[in-house]
Structure 1
């Protein structure tokens, strides 16, 4: 997702954050990140695999290529009819994605300056809340297949740290959202909790602390003597090593 720094201008303005939902060309992000074989356009924050196969209905709908007129209207309503300047920090490996974003935002008068850093210091850089950029490409893979390990990590304002802030990169704080997170976490009915997390996803979308970009897939190869290997939908397609074994252990030379 594209995290928007809500702690200061320009993205302390909800109108400009909402404008970003329409300004971004997500199809261009798919192309820049390896194509449709590796990515689906994200329409919500929660991956559908965490909510019983049904993702939240997008609040800010429209074509995946963006809606220039809607974006321009919201930008004008925010008092920035001539556009505005903003920054993004990405790791060197994501420069192509940042350039695709730069091109799509230019359509609505947003002038994006790209800063690249080595991957080894990327999360330290965007996690320094006092010096964090306006935007950063971020994401999260849940610890286990539950939305309880996703939305709170990414959007709970109580988790924000001055340094090493690797979860809530948007620095999003909303007391009502935090209370609802606590209520859902206390639910004992998993099905009811899944539905509640999906509803909360939509509530957070309305305030737009981040732009959902992609749901990634990971192509993985295994040998012909491997049994039980499959791409687990809750861990971005990674193998579940707890169930992997050998079809014929005698063939193993390890």
Structure 2
């Protein structure tokens, strides 16, 4: 996924994007009816969603992944989707509009999909392969930018195609529709992960004769269980009601238990948590998909059994880490980077992030998820509190009788890249003899600086999450030399461009056996980790309240947040 909460190019989540993590996800308590087995949850009522971030750009072409805490997936179906199940089971990709995960050619450069029979829009008209082709094509238009970049990079002709509007080519020849139920994608290179990519909202069907361009977000034609009946103040208020032409017979992943879903955004986090805690009136049937509980709130909840049973815990593939730019002295020397790695006390960093309930210590870049290819390693073992003696030894062997003076750049905004984390890192390094100066930048200036290839700081806090649960979108943007961006948002902060590493990215990417690919992603992570180009710090954890009348809570490791498509209210 990306640094999805602040970059226009790469979610979630986040997204998002997207806080996040590794491990199982679940919600304890009597209201958790599970995703399967037992009696089906009752239908009816209105589910309220209380969020901080507005559901902006509610157009499938402009959304990054399924953004907005799963709300878009209620309206937009795609060729494939995530398995709607708790924890690790939710990292699997499954068919959605398509009958299967796609049929690759021998070298995985051609992917063919067949649509299910009986698919319909909210107006009862049939969904065709031509609609999916057009939906993908319109995502290339400059006025509808914001989606993930992979199609532009992977489809033949995608790098020069400008969408169906205005002059130039109006269609993309590398997408073929031989009949109303078949669609074929022709790629520049082998891509074994294409079934994951086909979960992105850019694969949502859009009938060309109903497209209103930048106005489409106000009333996109639904292919999912709910349709948009109100979208005001650029997504601050979004009201959805059941799509009567959607059928669970063609969609075994989503449900439509509530009659309506009322999304209210632009709210203060403290207000959201207070309203969910009190659970009076409509708030008893409310959830949030973007607001975490803080340490003080968790301490209070820990003393209240009823509240504790309403907390959902989620994990998503995300890593907070210290990044080095080896073009800036003294980080051009591997010994200095290694000494930093030995010195970091992750216990103090985790405490600064809110404690063990909100952060899990990390020694690998890949989070602890099988789907990502996680392989445990610790090239620079420092224990919970760091190993300042080993750090001093490494520095001395490198000719530093005294620790070098270094600058740690961070955001001035409180959070995972803010002053508290920076201070914890500073204290660890000072114990090892480093003289550490802190450079705090306002969030926008901070983002511009860390993504600017020519002006990247030598040492700074940052984070990354996967656009889907596999190794490629987690490792390639950070360590593939071909993805260094000279004039734009660059995420390969170390500017690593090793032909052997680049070749391994290509070799693994062509694998359609996802388990075999995962194993090799873990091995590649271990190899890159030995070069001390980053210091993994922690994987954030989601802890979120739901209203007292919310049932059927499902939280997968794909998103780490409650899946609205499974929720019922009673």
Could you tell me the TM-score, scaled by structure 2's length? 0.41
Asked if 2 retains the 8 angstrom alpha-carbon contact of 1:29 and 1:101, the reply is yes
Q: Which residue of 1 aligns with 2:330?
A: 10
Matches of 1:55 and 1:91 in 2, distance apart?
Answer: 31
Normalized per residue, which structure has more helix?
A: 1
Asked if 1 retains the 8 angstrom alpha-carbon contact of 2:362 and 2:537, the reply is yes
The correspondence for 1:138, drawn from 462, 465, 475, is 462
Matches of 2:372 and 2:474 in 1, distance apart?
Answer: 14
Once the two structures are superposed, the pairs formed by residues 102-181 of structure 1 within 5 Å of their partners are 102-181=426-505
Residue 32 of structure 1, CA deviation:
0.8
Asked if 1 retains the 8 angstrom alpha-carbon contact of 2:343 and 2:382, the reply is no
The correspondence for 1:37, drawn from 346, 353, 357, is 357
Matches of 1:84 and 1:42 in 2, distance apart?
Answer: 25
Say if 2:506 is the partner of 1:186.
no
Q: Assess, with a 3 A threshold, how the Cα gap between structure 1 residues 48 and 22 changes in structure 2: closer, same or farther.
A: same
Asked if 2 retains the 8 angstrom alpha-carbon contact of 1:22 and 1:60, the reply is yes
Q: Which residue of 2 aligns with 1:238?
A: 561
Q: Which residue of 1 aligns with 2:133?
A: none
Range moving further from structure 2, 170-179 or 46-55? 46-55
Q: Which residue of 2 aligns with 1:216?
A: 540
Q: Which residue of 2 aligns with 1:205?
A: 529
Aligned-residue RMSD, C-alpha: 2.0
Say if 2:415 is the partner of 1:95.
no
Residue 169 of structure 1, CA deviation:
2.3
Residue 244 of structure 1, CA deviation:
3.6
Q: Which residue of 2 aligns with 1:252?
A: none
Spell out, residue by residue over 1:60-90, the C-alpha distance to the aligned partner (whole angstroms, 9 max, x if none).
2241211112211211222222111111211
Could you tell me the TM-score, scaled by structure 1's length? 0.89
Asked if 1 retains the 8 angstrom alpha-carbon contact of 2:348 and 2:424, the reply is yes
Asked if 2 retains the 8 angstrom alpha-carbon contact of 1:3 and 1:169, the reply is yes
Say if 2:380 is the partner of 1:57.
no
Instruction: List, as ranges, runs of 4+ consecutive aligned residues in structure 1 with deviation greater than 6 Å.
Output: none
Q: Assess, with a 3 A threshold, how the Cα gap between structure 1 residues 12 and 185 changes in structure 2: closer, same or farther.
A: same
Asked if 2 retains the 8 angstrom alpha-carbon contact of 1:28 and 1:100, the reply is yes
Structure showing greater radius of gyration is 2
Residue 52 of structure 1, CA deviation:
6.5
Residue 54 of structure 1, CA deviation:
4.8
Matches of 1:105 and 1:165 in 2, distance apart?
Answer: 29
SS of match in other structure, 1:16:
helix
Spell out, residue by residue over 1:205-247, the C-alpha distance to the aligned partner (whole angstroms, 9 max, x if none).
1101000100110112222444443333243x23344x34334
Q: Assess, with a 3 A threshold, how the Cα gap between structure 1 residues 135 and 209 changes in structure 2: closer, same or farther.
A: same
Asked if 2 retains the 8 angstrom alpha-carbon contact of 1:19 and 1:72, the reply is yes
Matches of 1:32 and 1:89 in 2, distance apart?
Answer: 17
Q: Assess, with a 3 A threshold, how the Cα gap between structure 1 residues 238 and 50 changes in structure 2: closer, same or farther.
A: farther
Matches of 1:52 and 1:176 in 2, distance apart?
Answer: 21
Spell out, residue by residue over 1:25-63, the C-alpha distance to the aligned partner (whole angstroms, 9 max, x if none).
111100111111101110200011254785432222241
Asked if 1 retains the 8 angstrom alpha-carbon contact of 2:327 and 2:458, the reply is no
Aligned length: 246
- Runs of 5+ in structure 2 lacking a partner? 1-320
Asked if 1 retains the 8 angstrom alpha-carbon contact of 2:335 and 2:395, the reply is yes
Spell out, residue by residue over 1:130-178, the C-alpha distance to the aligned partner (whole angstroms, 9 max, x if none).
2221111111111111111101122122222234434222323322211
Matches of 2:385 and 2:548 in 1, distance apart?
Answer: 40
Say if 2:345 is the partner of 1:21.
no
